[in-house]
């Protein structure tokens, strides 16, 4: 996949004559006019086309200009995109390099692959722990200060402290995102999914994106937004993998010979897939769920060898997190507790269910499918509006983020005032009212001995709110009115929050909303159901996840690893299947919709039905530009300047061969390396290519990091050099799958 074009027999446009004339632009205009005549269609050509296709006209209009280069929205940034080279360029230089490898070098390559995934697991686990440590302490300190002010009945001052700190944190997150790395906005899962499908963009996995993703996520979650750090952790893991997979850096003299083998898109793709799995494992402490997420949602290419490495990566993440959590249990990490790494342990709860419970599960699945389809529909409309606002520049992005922050603070602080105070239960398993930053019994404005149930959900971190909803043995602690108001608020805030210029994930808002309506259903059916409302909350979260994200296996395993409850496996599977089936009848999954909305050219696993009747000539860009095996420097330079695609067929013609013969495909980056090296010839004669192999190695043609590399504008040539020739046989891929 070289971002190029496919040949079309009816419109074959050659580069200028090889004898030295410089009328390339004139011939290009002639080729365009020739393409227009072909597009309008002479009767003879149309009849020949009809005979081949048995249709009266092509299904798609032919294009007569090259439009291979595209732009798309990456995060909150509009930038050009290209395709990746996922097939090895099997040219003579590559074959010579492969034959020259010794057993020691092959052993180094294998060891380095496992060493790199080990480092990915270690670093992603450390970043995941650091994220949770920072969020727990920043958000916890903010809530403690606000609670102390409320205990002294300084309610307005408490709101100013709460809303002001949220506003400052939100503005800081938006500022670093808007000015340093706009590509870090959002969850990053659609961008990573598109990258693993073959789409490349300059800043999609850049070091600056990694930096902003980490600190922007900490600031955004600490600011009280209805968003999570799980989606950004997937992008973070991918960025870490990409950074390690660069194969070193010539700029900082960090390149070693044995790192050069990883400077290709195929190895880099495998590492980034492992990084995605590590990100999910670090966010949810779900190693198996991380592997399944990468398999089900992220990766487009998969094989058994990659499965082993991804599983090893997530296992390393799990060990790192467990070790650091045990270290923090003694109180050495400030307010850090479980750090949002596990929602609630339900393993001690006995789950018994009967026929009425199964009917309730079916109802939950239907509700999740309907709400999920509606959520995706509304989110698509809101994101399109936000994209218009974000196009106005960084100040508009920051202003939008601050407006959403004010709305969120007003809801989370103001709505609990609508709830009445409830007397503390005599059999409460924890202190009531809660002392500290978290718990099921928030005092808020209530007198001693009473608690505010809605404040226990709103006036908390998102992770603590989920723990409260998942808690068992608390059937009467949350009023129906409080749950309903909380659901409506979270549903709406989740919609308006995703899309602002901060790193934000959808997992937490979806789990929160689903757990809330699941608990509502469990409370309503309490008289006829044997299941605890906390278990209904888990099933509600599963139904909403299935309705929005359309993932089944990975979500099922992630939820079971979160709650440590295998007894709920059959019910979780059932509710996921129902909600996904219902939602699929409305629209696509949320990440698939965002990929389309951002303009990322994602290639689906299965073609649409109408595509069965298309041939290459129906969709190809034209005019086709080819090179001869011995090509003039001026022709190559001109072609690279006037086109935006990356693949060019190489065709030998008389007198080099008796008849025109396809040599292979040459890509732009390899042409630029040859041009920079100025391996030119004064005469147009075919060579053995040995002097190219002596001057260059496979490492010289290795692909640099995402979006980097030589550009034709960086190269300059004299008039004498422009009239010289260059041999392309050595670097032409003789086994191309396409351009």
Per run of 10 residues, the mean pLDDT along the chain (length 739 residues) is 40 43 38 40 40 42 53 75 75 70 79 92 95 90 89 90 95 95 91 89 86 95 92 94 74 58 80 95 92 90 88 95 84 66 56 78 94 96 92 93 96 90 77 68 81 86 87 81 94 94 93 94 83 90 95 92 84 94 94 90 82 78 82 91 85 81 86 84 73 63 64 86 87 70
Alpha-carbon distance of 167 to 621, in angstroms, equals: 49
H/E stretch holding 383 reads helix 355-390
Distance CA 690, CA 326 (A): 61
DSSP state of 723: T
Helix/strand/coil percentages in the chain, nearest 5: 60, 5, 35
* CA–CA distance, 417 with 611 (Å, rounded to integer): 57
Rounded to an integer, what distance in angstroms lies between the CA atom of residue 316 and that of residue 306? 15
CATH architecture of 102-328: Orthogonal Bundle (1.10)
Instruction: Please state, in angstroms and rounded to a whole number, the distance separating the CA atoms of residues 276 and 417.
Output: 41
Rg (CA), the chain: 30
Give residue 599's pLDDT. 86
For residue 24, the model assigns a pLDDT of 37
Instruction: Give the separation between CA 446 and CA 439, rounded to whole angstroms.
Output: 15
Q: How far is CA 80 from the centre of its chain?
A: 17
Rounded Cα distance, 595 and 530, in Å: 42
Output the pTM of the full model. 0.84
Q: Which residues touch 710 (CB under 8 Å, ≥6 apart)? A: 669, 672, 673, 676
* The domain defined by 355-587 carries CATH number 1.10.3080.10: yes
- Helices 155-179, 394-414: axis angle to 10 degrees equals 150
Give the span between the Cα atoms of 654 and 474, in whole angstroms. 85
Domains 102-328 and 355-587 share a fold: yes
Contact 257, 212 (CB under 8 A): no
- Looking at residue 259, what is its pLDDT? 62
pLDDT of residue 248: 54
β-strand pairing of 77-83 with 70-74: antiparallel
The residue extents of the domains of the chain are 12-87+611-727, 102-328, 355-587
Q: Are 622 and 66 in contact (CB under 8 A)?
A: yes
Distances in whole angstroms, Cα of residue 29 to Cα of each of 16, 23, 41, 645, 697? 12, 10, 18, 18, 38
Of 310, 304, 314, 74, give the one whose Cα is nearest residue 194.
74
CB 448 within 8 A of CB 419: no
The H-or-E segment that residue 51 falls in is helix 43-53
At 342 the pLDDT is 52
Angle (CA) 398 402 403, round 5°: 120
Inter-residue contact 170 to 254 (CB < 8 Å)? no
What is the predicted pLDDT for the residue at 27?
38
- Beta-carbon contacts of 621 under 8 Å, excluding residues fewer than 6 positions away, are 5, 63, 65, 66, 67, 68, 645
Angstrom CA distances, 364 to 253, 487, 515, 589, stand at 58, 15, 11, 18
């Amino acid at each position: 996949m070289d971002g190029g074009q496919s040949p079309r027999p009816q419109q074959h446009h050659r580069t200028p004559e090889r004898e030295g004339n410089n009328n390339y632009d004139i011939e290009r205009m002639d080729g365009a006019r020739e393409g227009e005549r072909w597009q309008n269609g002479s009767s003879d050509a149309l009849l020949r086309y009809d005979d081949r296709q048995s249709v009266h006209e092509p299904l798609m209009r032919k294009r007569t200009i090259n439009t291979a280069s595209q732009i798309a929205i990456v995060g909150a940034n509009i930038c050009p995109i290209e395709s990746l080279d996922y097939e090895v360029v099997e040219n003579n230089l590559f074959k010579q390099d492969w034959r020259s490898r010794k057993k020691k070098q092959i052993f180094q390559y294998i060891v380095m692959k496992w060493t790199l995934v080990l480092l990915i697991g270690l670093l992603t686990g450390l970043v995941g722990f650091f994220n949770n440590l920072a969020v727990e302490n920043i958000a916890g300190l903010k809530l403690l200060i606000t609670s102390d002010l409320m205990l002294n009945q300084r309610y307005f001052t408490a709101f100013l402290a709460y809303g002001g700190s949220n506003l400052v944190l939100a503005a800081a997150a938006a500022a670093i995102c808007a000015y340093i790395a706009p590509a870090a906005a959002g969850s990053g899962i659609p961008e990573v999914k598109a990258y693993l499908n073959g789409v490349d963009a300059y800043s999609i996995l850049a070091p600056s994106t990694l930096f902003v993703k980490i600190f922007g996520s900490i600031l955004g979650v600490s600011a009280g937004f209805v968003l999570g750090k799980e989606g950004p952790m997937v992008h973070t893991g991918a960025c870490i993998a990409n950074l390690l997979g660069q194969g070193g850096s010539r700029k900082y003299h960090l390149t070693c010979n044995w790192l050069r083998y990883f400077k290709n898109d195929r190895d880099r793709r495998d590492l980034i897939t492992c990084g995605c799995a590590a990100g999910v494992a670090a966010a949810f402490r779900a190693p198996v769920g991380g592997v399944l997420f990468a398999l089900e949602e992220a990766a487009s290419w998969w094989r058994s060898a990659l499965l082993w490495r991804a599983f090893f990566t997530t296992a390393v993440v799990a060990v790192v997190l467990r070790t650091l959590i045990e270290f923090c249990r003694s109180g050495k990490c400030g307010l850090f507790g479980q750090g949002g790494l596990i929602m609630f342990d339900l393993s001690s709860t006995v789950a018994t269910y009967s026929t009425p419970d199964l009917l309730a599960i079916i109802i939950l699945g239907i509700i999740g499918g309907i709400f999920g389809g509606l959520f995706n529909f509304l989110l698509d409309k809101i994101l399109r509006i936000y994209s218009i606002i974000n196009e106005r520049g960084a100040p508009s992005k920051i202003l939008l983020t601050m407006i959403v922050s004010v709305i969120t603070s007003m809801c989370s602080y103001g709505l609990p005032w609508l709830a009445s105070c409830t007397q503390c239960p005599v059999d409460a398993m924890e202190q009531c009212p809660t002392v500290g930053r978290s718990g099921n019994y928030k005092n808020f404005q209530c007198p001693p001995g009473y608690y505010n149930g809605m404040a226990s959900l709103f006036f908390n971190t998102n992770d603590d709110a989920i723990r409260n909803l998942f808690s068992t043995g608390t059937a009467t602690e949350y009023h129906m009115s409080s749950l309903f108001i909380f659901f409506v608020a979270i549903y709406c805030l989740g919609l308006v929050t995703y899309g602002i210029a901060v790193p934000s994930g959808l997992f937490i808002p979806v789990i929160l909303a689903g757990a809330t309506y699941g608990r509502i259903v469990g409370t309503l059916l309490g008289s006829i159901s044997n299941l605890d409302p906390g278990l209904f909350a888990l099933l509600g979260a599963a139904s909403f996840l299935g309705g929005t994200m359309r993932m089944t296996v990975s979500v099922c395993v992630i939820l079971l690893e979160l709650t440590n409850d295998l007894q709920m496996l059959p019910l979780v599977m059932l509710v996921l299947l129902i909600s996904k089936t219902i939602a699929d009848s409305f629209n696509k999954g949320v990440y698939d919709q965002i990929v389309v909305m951002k303009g990322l050219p994602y290639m689906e696993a299965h073609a649409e039905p109408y595509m069965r009747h298309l041939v290459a000539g129906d969709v190809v860009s034209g005019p086709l530009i080819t090179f001869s095996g011995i090509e003039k420097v001026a022709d190559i330079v001109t072609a690279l300047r006037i086109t935006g695609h990356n693949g060019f067929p190489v065709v030998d013609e008389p007198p080099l061969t008796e008849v025109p013969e396809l040599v292979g495909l040459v890509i732009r980056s390899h042409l630029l390396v040859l041009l920079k090296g100025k391996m030119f010839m004064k005469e147009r004669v075919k060579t053995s290519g040995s002097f190219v192999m002596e001057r260059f190695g496979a490492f010289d043609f290795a692909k640099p990091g995402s979006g980097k590399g030589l550009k034709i504008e960086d190269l300059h040539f004299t008039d004498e050099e422009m009239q010289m020739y260059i041999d392309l046989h050595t670097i032409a891929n003789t086994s191309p799958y396409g351009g």
